[in-house]
Amino acid sequence: MASPEPRHARRAAAAVLAASALALASCSAPGDEAPQDASGATLEVGLVLEPTNLDIRHTAGAALEQALIGNVYEGLVARSGADIVPALATAWSVSDDGLEYTFTLAGDVTFHGGQDMTADDVVASLEAVRGDETAIGHDELAGVAEVAAIDEGTVRVALAEPDQGFLFALTGPAGLVLDADDETDMLSDANGTGPFALESWNQGDSIVLARNDAYWGDPAGVAEVVLRYIPEPTALVAAGLDGSLDALTGIDAELAPQLEGSLTVTSGPTTDKFILAFNDEAAPLDDVRVREALRLAIDHDAIVEVVGAGVTQFGPVPELDPGYEDLSNTISFDPERARDLLAEAGVQDLSLELTIPSAYGTTASTLLVSAFADIGVELEVSPVEFSTWLQDVFTNHDYELSYVNHVEPRDFSTWTDADYYYAIADDDARAEIADTYAEAMRETDPDVSAALIADAARLVAAQHPADWLYTREDVVAVATGVEGFPTSETSTRLPLARVHVAGS
């Protein structure tokens, strides 16, 4: 779903990964270089959104993945930028037909609770998600036909049909390996295999992670990590300035200049898509001319300039995802053409309501009010709590326009879902998009698959179901001496094992 909020509870796999004959992955575990030492330092990190609970198998949330995946929990594979890299599987092979994956497991892996990890734990973890319709990632494993332990160090997964999204799905909650015999209360505790173990969760304040000294890979570079949750933007920056934080992420770009000189401020790419969705089942938004007119009224360059850290995006696939294509030629800033389209549609004195989580502030909505007024459309902005947005917009589809940030990479499948809140109402158009995307997922050649996703993205853009206002850039600040802190896509992944505090 959105960030700083939970991710999609229902999201089909959407990724492009190589499935060539007996393709072998044999690089090292996540992180290119080991820390300089295993120091006794504590790393204090300032974040915006706190998880509502810790049950990563049943609770959707970018904040939950940010804190726990790669730190406390691990899967067979992991993400490293746009790449899929080894984690608990040191290598894997894929059959010629893309139907069989064979994973070689790392040895001497133990859970934080002290039990050895076995191939049976891997099988049980994947089967648990497959068999539980309430589990996060259940849909992503729908194409799995069989999971079997070949021996103590090998697991084979058979698919019913090729799926370019399968390995990527394993980098998320669907692929996490849990202790099959563990009875930990996952709502408030965790028992993974990662470089850090959960030490405490002080709700409303912080999560504390302690270095796992029994970790099977290279030890973490700091002894302790404190994830401090500071949702108010100015308070987060103030904590960076007063020296109480070693690193900050999720910084408001407008406030970032305040940190320069005191901390090192960098920006990096993300898949955070700020989407202005149109409810095309609500008149007059059910007329594609009206939706296109609203898009034509928006000056995307002006929005990017004002938000301070972002890039334009004119379609459903961000630049970091497979299938990206520059779709700026599908829409332009043309208020005159927008007025003509509204006239063609017979729309006069149009008034629309924009539902927006109040945490997002007023910068973008103020620009939209002005832009729409220029084409004769009155826009009423209704800020709401995110819980209200979830109920009214996401669940009940009760809205006209919605503005929210969707953080997930490779989430194109939402545009094929007839039940999603911004579903394309035209059944024929949505069916063509779904068919094209399904073909892309079945394709074993990653380049061909990416080209098909690009085709599907053009079909979506032509329906004007939303406007992709911009893709956010990650603004991160670190104190002097902090090395190896992640600088991109930190809203969904924040692996901290390779962070080192110099001189500690």
**Model pLDDT for residues 349-390, shown as the tens digit of each residue:** 999 999 999 888 788 999 999 999 999 999 999 999 988 999
Rounded to the nearest 10°, the torsion over CA 288, 393, 365, 302 is -50
pLDDT at 297 over 70: yes
Residues of the chain with pLDDT > 90: what percent? 84
Q: Name the nearest CA neighbour of 252 among 270, 237, 268, 274.
A: 237
**Model pLDDT for residues 25-54, shown as the tens digit of each residue:** 333 344 444 444 457 999 999 999 899 999
What are the φ and ψ backbone dihedral angles of 341, each rounded to 5 degrees? -65, -40
The residue with tokens 């997922």 is 441
Q: Is residue 172 a contact partner of residue 9, using CB atoms and an 8 Å limit?
A: no
* Annotated domain spans of the chain: 273-472
Structure tokens at 341: 């389209």
The residue with tokens 């200049």 is 257
If pLDDT is split at 50, 70 and 90, which confidence band does 504 have? low
Q: Count CB atoms within 10 A of the CB of residue 305.
A: 11
Q: What pLDDT was estimated at residue 27?
A: 35
pLDDT at 6 over 60: no
If pLDDT is split at 50, 70 and 90, which confidence band does 503 have? low
pLDDT at 392 over 80: yes
**Model pLDDT for residues 416-470, shown as the tens digit of each residue:** 999 999 999 999 999 999 999 999 999 999 999 999 999 999 999 999 999 999 9
d(CA 159, CA 141): 9
| Residues in CB range of 101: below 8 A, 6 or more apart | 92, 93, 94, 95, 156, 157, 159, 166, 167
Q: What pLDDT was estimated at residue 226?
A: 98
- 273-472 is classed in which CATH architecture? Roll (3.10)
Q: Residue 81: left (phi > 0), alpha (psi -120 to 50), or beta?
A: left
pLDDT at 60 over 90: no
Q: Report in angstroms the alpha-carbon separations of 255 from 25, 235, 246.
A: 42, 11, 17
Q: What pLDDT was estimated at residue 441?
A: 95
* Amino acid, single-letter form, for residue 435: D
What are the φ and ψ backbone dihedral angles of 500, each rounded to 5 degrees? -130, 140
**Model pLDDT for residues 199-217, shown as the tens digit of each residue:** 999 999 999 999 999 999 9
Q: What pLDDT was estimated at residue 14?
A: 29
What are the φ and ψ backbone dihedral angles of 190, each rounded to 5 degrees? -150, 145
Structure tokens at 303: 């929005």
Q: What pLDDT was estimated at residue 90?
A: 97
The residue with tokens 């973008």 is 364
